[in-house]
Structure 1
Amino acid sequence: MGDNINALQEKWYDFSQKIAEEGIVLLKNENNVLPLLNKKAAIFGAAQMENFRSDESDLYLINELEKNGINFDRELANDYKSWAESNSKDRNFRTNIMVQNEFDEEMPISEDVFERVLSGGAETAMIVIRRSSSENCDMTAEKGDYLLSDSEERLIKAVCRHFKDVILLLKIGCCIDLSFLDDNKINAVIYTNSFGNGTAAALARILKGEVNPSGKLTYTMAKRISDYPSSANFGQHGGGLIQDYKEDIFVGYRYFKTFGSENVVFPFGHGLSYTNFKLDNIRFEKSDKIYVELNVTNTGKYAGKEVVQLYCSAPQLSDGAVLGKPLMELCGFEKTRLLAPGESETLRFEVDPDELASYDDTGALGEKSVFVSEKGAYNFFIGNSIENVTLAGGYTQKENRIIRKCSNIATALPERLSADGTYERLPVNSAGNLYTAISPLEKTKVDVHGIAELSKGESLDLKLFPGVGGGYALTFSGMDGNKPVTELAEIRIDGIKIKLAPAVNSQYVISLPLRICDLKLTALCDNPGIESLYFEKIDTTVTVDGDKPTVIKCSNYYEGSFYLEVSNYEDDISNTSDSYITNFFISGMYAIYKLYVPQGGAYDISFKYSYNAETVAVNNVMTVAVSNIVQPLGTMKFENTYLPNGKRRFKNTDFSTIELPKGYVYLKIISADIPFPDISEVVLSKSSGKTVKAENITDEARDKKDKEAVPGMLEPDNGIRSGIILRNVYDNPELMRPFLEQLSDEELAVIVSGTSLNRTPYGDVGCNHPLYLRGVPAAQTADGPCGLRQQGLNPTRYPMSVILASSFNKGLYSEYGEIMGEECRFYGVDLWLAPSINIFRNPLGGRNNSYASEDPYLSGIFASEQIKSIQKCGVGAVLKHYCANSTEYERLKSNSRVSERALREIYMKGFEIAVKRADPWAIMSSYNSVNDTKVCENRTLITEIPRKEWNWDGVFVTDWWNDSNHIKELKAGHDLKMATGDISGVAKALGDGILTREEVYVCAGRVLKMLLKLETVREFIAEEGA
């Protein structure tokens, strides 16, 4: 076993390095600064000492540079090592995901240090910039995150001032603001993303020249976040829960190429090599398919590989087309083998013209909800990036051709961008649009004419959907100006009476929860006259007053965990009402408050809270950090504030002293343990006291606790069987129906439910619920896209998915599927929760690095090759996350309002390609709603399209712990609810006739068919028959 695992791990680590060698992208290389060859380098940046651990080994960049013979200034490296030991932290690959992005301040570099380094012979400087991004947490357009921090700006300017040759290494999840490149002379730029096993070694070999980089960007890198058309409607600060996909089909290069932009720094498909390639002898042929062929020759001095990309330009508005289209769209790509100098290879492309069709969702060409190939010129361009192409050939189509008629998808998007730059109004017809959306971006008017003429005591009920929870300015129109609104109407939110504070500038402040909520207006007099309400989001930045106490309303947070909730309360004892944050149900949840501190220094902090548990020290259940630096909380305590009759009370804690630096800072409240109090206010007052030395955040204790909490397996199978068992169905598939018909309602409900309790050891995330009496075993699942995530074991950490995709190597995609199949089988994993192919809608997306691209065609091919290979190993792929789940902000509550065309051409296209080419055994549905309806409750998205249009018969599984209704999911044709299902609820619905057994037979049958494809289940069945 020991020798075997060592040999296998060496093989897997070698392959991980291979991915990095092919996926790392050389973005810039002026004056051939790279490769370094024998030049001595000085390496700057705290991230060079960052240590990611995925096993017992270290992934230090600096160690691998030394091991691979890179000549660098070791004294400077030692300076950074000392700095890192006292100022930064190690990060572990498999820690709690609920953390906010963090960065380390850069070490100040004195002039003496620069003089020492230069006199030591360093000719080239390399600056390492790191950014993390993660599940549950989008990046923010703030310094130290999407923008450079002040210390990073100072470092870059200083290095560029002292060195002629400067290399920038971007260890970033997706992209950062690149406008600083205009002001600093940086000769070379390398993009690596986060490291996996072998990435540091691969980078060292690239720097040295032993490996020639061949990766290409799978997305567009622009100067600023404002350059991306989705930015105004993305994430928490671009609509919040209401995500309007107004840019429509113009995502990434489709936008930049169509509308033109001088602010593209590195375009889609771009990536340099140490050698040069010539593309010539291009041949184009059109018959039933489109065929393009060309020669690729290495004309340089280094052996290397080249990626060739084929783009189609479909009929444009400027040429008389009716449907607007992107100027170019990727329709093929191939990568050469390793070509020696002077060597050539012929590459061939084949394109089905039907796949170039556009989707007409409004009937502009005569028929609605159809894929149509519009008449006009189709031109094909070939090259090595979207911006470096040449015409390969083309043809003209004389008539419109309807390719496929489709099911209609109701949309809630009010308008979308057109190819001529105008915005087209859309007919909003979503079935679930029964609320008023409250925008956090602009003032929202809510008409309430119905209350104007009500009699005293009569009420008007509305549903509101706030894009962001927290404080809103509320104003009224149409009422009697001589009476305050408090004498005209009573306001209740979700049944809680809102006691309005005195108006300031005719505005009241009201707190709205982060969910669809009920607003009830009750007339307090006859004919109150109110005609409209206006809601406007209050700026969340709080200025901390150094002269008097500053009260921070906790409901008005800047950022928070996706399960966090805002509620209102009435305190009968003090006769007050207010809001609070709640639902901190596990450790690691957080709320962040953006502060502006004119006077830095020591501040006393206290909390207004409600707590229903025994007295506990505050620091036992809560961690407070200021810009990610943990603050001491002294002897503060949370006491039980509930009355004997169960009524809630809020009270204030004592205070403790923390340190607030001058300027903009982020105050972060984190649950360290549960139960956690409900928090209404944080109070800050300038203090004359002193704080103890602050310590950096560490997840070590939490990791230890998580590992100890891994649940064991349920009682093992006792071998007792009854009736037709699954082995019988395996031997004779015609027994599937009789097998299902014999099951009780509860047993049927078990088949379509998952469980998190029957885990294998070491932290798999759950499985289908076994039904051993009928011979149905559990199939184990594990994340994820860049390697298995299992506590207590050391599976390989592969480079992030975007780096694998950046290789543009179909053979490598396929080989990764084989390797993951092998590793899954070794660790007892049956269903691999990958690949992930959500579209890069915006560079702030927290999980972009786990996805492939901004392009659906590339994403679909990327997934298809992996799926085919891993499933040959008897391990099921779970393709995710379907669909239109682009932001990490409040994913359970987020509502993506998307046009039918954008869904078809962009956000569902990759899934369609993967289904038709590779037939994944399972697809994971996303948390969010699309056009007002939960994805997994939407029959059109779950049944009509994938089942009937794509002819797919695999299993839909929910994302873990989603909040949709299991009965509605089954009604929609959604098969398996993870990590646990509502067994009793489904059984009752069957008994009451709300669900029919036939509806559940269909879903349960698909789950069982999937199980019978898994190698471990086949082994289980073979043992049954032995």
Structure 2
Amino acid sequence: MVLLKNEDRLLPLKRGAKVSLFGKGSVAYVKGGGGSGDVFCAYVHNVYDGFLQKQAEGKVTVNAGLAEFYNSYIEGEKAAGRPVMGINVRTEPLPPDGLIEDAARESEVAVITISRFSTEGTDRALDGDYYLSDEEKQLVAKVTAAFEKTVLVLNVGAVTDSEYFKDNERIQSVLLAWQAGMEGGMAIADILCGDAVPSGKLVDTFAKNFEDYPSSQGLFDDELAVRYHDDIYVGYRYFETVPGGKDRVNYPFGFGLSYTSFEISGLCMEETDGVISAKLKVTNTGVYRGKQVVQLYFSAPQGVLGKPKLQLAAFAKTKELMPMESEELYLKLKAEDMASYDDLGKIQKSAYILEKGDYSFYIGSSVRDTEKAYFVYTVEEDRVVKQLTERLAPNRLEKRMLADGSFEALPQRKAVYGYGRNKAIEVTCPIENPSFKDVGEKLSLEEFVAAFTTEELCEFMGGSPNVGVSNTLCFSGLERLGVASVPTADGPAGLRLDAHHGIPTTAWPCATLLACSWNEALVEQVGAAGAAELKENGLKVWLTPAINIHRTPLCGRNFEYFSEDPFVAGKMAAAKVKGIQSQGVACSVKHFAANNIELNRIKGDSVVSERALREIYLKGFEICVKEADPWTIMTSYNLINGIHTSESYDLITGILRGEWGFGGMVTTDWGIKNNPVNEVKAGNDMKMHVGYPEELMEAIEKGELSRADLEACALRILNVYKRLA
């Protein structure tokens, strides 16, 4: 959780403080988002529960009358068949003036909880979601008029308006609690009462107004296409670079307060064999225990290509430090990771280039709170660090943003799509009645696949019905050859089982909250614990993590995604994948790629430059693949530059497998109706949740598809199955 504001050191609350809890979110707490991110759990502890526990411990006194008011309201809404929380549910009951006045006489501190819910398939609204509803504005006004001391708790899944509280002297403290899962209310009370010290840092920029985000321009103008004119200038890359951008920020990327204070000292940086390393010391100089996040940014020369002023290159978090305790931290990055992609051939087309000049470094606790290091990395001449091939280039993007906020025109080109050819298996199966369990002992995987009939291969390319408690269907099996189907399960915030099974599972904090920990080891532990729960229920593939970028605050699935920054997203995803796969089960990294809005997500086209794709929207996936070796990846619903991701040879075979070395299997997202023949040719191994074997067989008979194409998919699928076995 992130402490955004703490004037007059109101937090932590003094022992014995008398507290009144306002807002329906204090009892109707939102543990997480909907859709694949929802979780059926045994209980949800709300904010009121947390404070009741603190009251039982003798730390605070809680006003019970307000809880009675809100519980009565909730019971009435439920009796009337109306939802209390949900998408487009913006009602906020106002306590009678007398109840507020009584609360102000009985209590010294007001805690207002503002809650939000969002879900997949729809995006957030501005009024009553990003911004406060009229009822919420009235609630805040009435409470702050009656109380001298007010704490605001934001129980939200994505960035919301912060303008109403940033400079409001009547709201002294603000805790960005996000959606913290089934124990969230207890964690909030722990922080507010001082039993835990906040150490979270923002992974998104909180702008003054929604219109300040460059993505806000024309966001919903065209249901069939979203044009990424902001290009590589997303989040802090925009606000810290474009003239006047800094003035449009309330809370910068990386920001977060603590109850204690820290000092960074002894910074020493050096470069050896292309690796830049930093060593420093962090000291807790305050009176509370606490943890600190250290962030390392680089500033590259603008050169010919143009670049953001600052880019995150590394981070590290201390252990919990006692007052006056210190810890040494070590950070490193590869010099080549500071290169920029030249998609237009300004220096050398389709290459990552370190442009000549001085590369400076800044270290601190946020993108704003940094000090410039004495160390400089100098590149004497433009250096090509990686020569690639043009992939996924746009044909309908007329302009893109530059570092000074102006736009450059882009050349118009014809879209060129193609597919490669797969080599047929040349061996035959050497034994009669082979079984999958024979692979590795009696026969090779290629020999085993040779035993499939072509019809069986066509059947194998699609999902199969649920088994056990699986509710998202299974990866296909083949009974004749002893290949069991592989049960899968959602989702990004915990194992999601249907309620009728009667098996509650753990609802973990949402992905954005996990990212705000800046703690890779912690996220890895979450992955391992969730995977253990998966195994306990006989499941083998967990459909998580999701690595899409917070391009706009209004995306309905931002709670599933980590950050506006691809480096943070990739690192957190890699940590979760490592944790999951350490338990012998698979994850499914999604949604590959550029699925950054829910409007018309099946037919919507993300029209984006190749540079922005590689540096922003694919970068997190690249980091995750190279560092964690996920066993499966799920393509997205949307198109990228005119072609569905599940049918994109450039994306799946060219970049994912060819450039990054991905060795696992690729699936579609569930229920997609795209061309199954093109998907197989693109390298998409399995169509979920059902396949189209008749269409594949027809394509074989017409010569549009080869058995070798199907064999290539089967080999990749079965390689993953062997790891799961």
How high is the TM-score relative to the length of structure 1?
0.65
Alpha-carbon shift at residue 736 of structure 1 (Å): 2.0
Tell me the percent identity. 39
Q: Map 1:37-186 to 2 at 5 A.
A: 37-38=14-15, 39-50=17-28, 54-69=40-55, 70-87=60-77, 100-110=87-97, 112-120=98-106, 122-142=107-127, 144-181=128-165, 184-185=168-169, 186=171
Contact 2:632-2:664 within 8 A present in 1 as well: yes
Q: Map 1:347-746 to 2 at 5 A.
A: 347-365=329-347, 367-392=348-373, 393-409=375-391, 410-412=393-395, 413-431=397-415, 723-731=433-441, 735-746=444-455
Alpha-carbon shift at residue 763 of structure 1 (Å): 4.6
Partner Cα distance (1:835, 1:47) in 2: 27
C-alpha offsets along residues 559-613 of structure 1, whole Å, 9 cap, x if unaligned?
A: xxxxxxxxxxxxxxxxxxxxxxxxxxxxxxxxxxxxxxxxxxxxxxxxxxxxxxx
User: Which residue does the alignment assign to 1:447?
Assistant: none
Partner Cα distance (2:240, 2:4) in 1: 19
Contact 2:468-2:538 within 8 A present in 1 as well: no
Q: Map 1:302-321 to 2 at 5 A.
A: 302-316=288-302, 321=303
Contact 1:277-1:299 within 8 A present in 2 as well: yes
Asked whether 1:330 is paired with 2:312, we answer yes
Q: Which amino acid aligns with 1:48?
A: S
User: Which residue does the alignment assign to 1:788?
Assistant: 495
Contact 1:780-1:829 within 8 A present in 2 as well: yes
Alpha-carbon shift at residue 992 of structure 1 (Å): 2.4
Partner Cα distance (1:233, 1:957) in 2: 32
Asked whether 1:754 is paired with 2:457, we answer no
User: Which residue does the alignment assign to 1:287?
Assistant: 272
Q: Map 1:740-819 to 2 at 5 A.
A: 740-755=449-464, 757=465, 759-791=466-498, 792=501, 793-819=503-529
User: Which residue does the alignment assign to 1:29?
Assistant: 6
Asked whether 1:836 is paired with 2:546, we answer yes
C-alpha offsets along residues 406-456 of structure 1, whole Å, 9 cap, x if unaligned?
A: 1212213111001122111112325279xxxxxxxxxxxxxxxxxxxxxxx
Alpha-carbon shift at residue 28 of structure 1 (Å): 0.8
Alpha-carbon shift at residue 88 of structure 1 (Å): 6.3
Contact 1:156-1:184 within 8 A present in 2 as well: no
Which has the larger Rg?
A: 1
C-alpha offsets along residues 778-797 of structure 1, whole Å, 9 cap, x if unaligned?
A: 11110111101101221100
1:995 is matched with which residue: 705, 708, 714?
Answer: 705
Partner Cα distance (1:377, 1:92) in 2: 61
In structure 2, the CA distance between the partners of 1:101 and 1:394, relative to structure 1 (3 Å rule), is farther
Alpha-carbon shift at residue 261 of structure 1 (Å): 2.9
User: Which residue does the alignment assign to 2:426?
Assistant: none
Alpha-carbon shift at residue 182 of structure 1 (Å): 5.6
In structure 2, the CA distance between the partners of 1:851 and 1:430, relative to structure 1 (3 Å rule), is farther
Contact 1:407-1:940 within 8 A present in 2 as well: no
Alpha-carbon shift at residue 760 of structure 1 (Å): 2.6
Partner Cα distance (1:90, 1:1009) in 2: 53
In structure 2, the CA distance between the partners of 1:275 and 1:327, relative to structure 1 (3 Å rule), is same
Structure 2: stretches of 5+ with no match in the other structure: 32-39, 418-430
Contact 1:324-1:420 within 8 A present in 2 as well: no
Give the root-mean-square deviation of aligned CA atoms: 2.1
Q: Which has the higher strand share?
A: 1
Alpha-carbon shift at residue 380 of structure 1 (Å): 0.8
1:975 is matched with which residue: 682, 685, 692?
Answer: 685
- Identify which of structures 1 and 2 has the higher relative contact order when contacts are C-alpha pairs closer than 8 Å and 6+ apart: 2
Contact 2:215-2:230 within 8 A present in 1 as well: yes
Contact 2:213-2:235 within 8 A present in 1 as well: yes
Q: Which amino acid aligns with 2:365?
A: N
C-alpha offsets along residues 954-981 of structure 1, whole Å, 9 cap, x if unaligned?
A: 1111000012111000111111110011
C-alpha offsets along residues 447-475 of structure 1, whole Å, 9 cap, x if unaligned?
A: xxxxxxxxxxxxxxxxxxxxxxxxxxxxx
Q: Say which SS state the counterpart of residue 170 (structure 1) adopts.
A: strand
How high is the TM-score relative to the length of structure 2?
0.92
Partner Cα distance (1:977, 1:48) in 2: 43
Partner Cα distance (2:163, 2:149) in 1: 19
Contact 1:50-1:90 within 8 A present in 2 as well: no
Contact 1:231-1:238 within 8 A present in 2 as well: no
Contact 2:470-2:539 within 8 A present in 1 as well: no
In structure 2, the CA distance between the partners of 1:193 and 1:52, relative to structure 1 (3 Å rule), is closer
Partner Cα distance (1:211, 1:907) in 2: 35
Contact 1:157-1:184 within 8 A present in 2 as well: no
Partner Cα distance (1:737, 1:81) in 2: 63
Q: Which amino acid aligns with 1:342?
A: M
Partner Cα distance (1:761, 1:281) in 2: 57
User: Which residue does the alignment assign to 1:680?
Assistant: none
Of stretches 51-60 and 389-398 in structure 1, the one that deviates more from structure 2 is 51-60
Q: Which has the higher helix share?
A: 2
Q: Which amino acid aligns with 1:286?
A: E
Asked whether 1:230 is paired with 2:220, we answer no
C-alpha offsets along residues 233-283 of structure 1, whole Å, 9 cap, x if unaligned?
A: 32xx23322100000000001000112232211111111110000111111
User: Which residue does the alignment assign to 2:645?
Assistant: 935
- Number of paired residues? 689
Asked whether 1:248 is paired with 2:234, we answer no
Partner Cα distance (1:724, 1:394) in 2: 62
Contact 2:41-2:182 within 8 A present in 1 as well: no
Q: Which amino acid aligns with 2:563?
A: S
Alpha-carbon shift at residue 92 of structure 1 (Å): 13
Partner Cα distance (1:299, 1:88) in 2: 50
Alpha-carbon shift at residue 722 of structure 1 (Å): 6.4
Partner Cα distance (1:89, 1:874) in 2: 45
Partner Cα distance (2:326, 2:78) in 1: 49
In structure 2, the CA distance between the partners of 1:285 and 1:219, relative to structure 1 (3 Å rule), is same
Partner Cα distance (1:56, 1:79) in 2: 25
Partner Cα distance (2:646, 2:414) in 1: 16
C-alpha offsets along residues 83-109 of structure 1, whole Å, 9 cap, x if unaligned?
A: 23224689999x9x9x74323323243
Q: Say which SS state the counterpart of residue 324 (structure 1) adopts.
A: coil
Q: Say which SS state the counterpart of residue 28 (structure 1) adopts.
A: strand
Partner Cα distance (1:182, 1:861) in 2: 30
Alpha-carbon shift at residue 775 of structure 1 (Å): 1.0
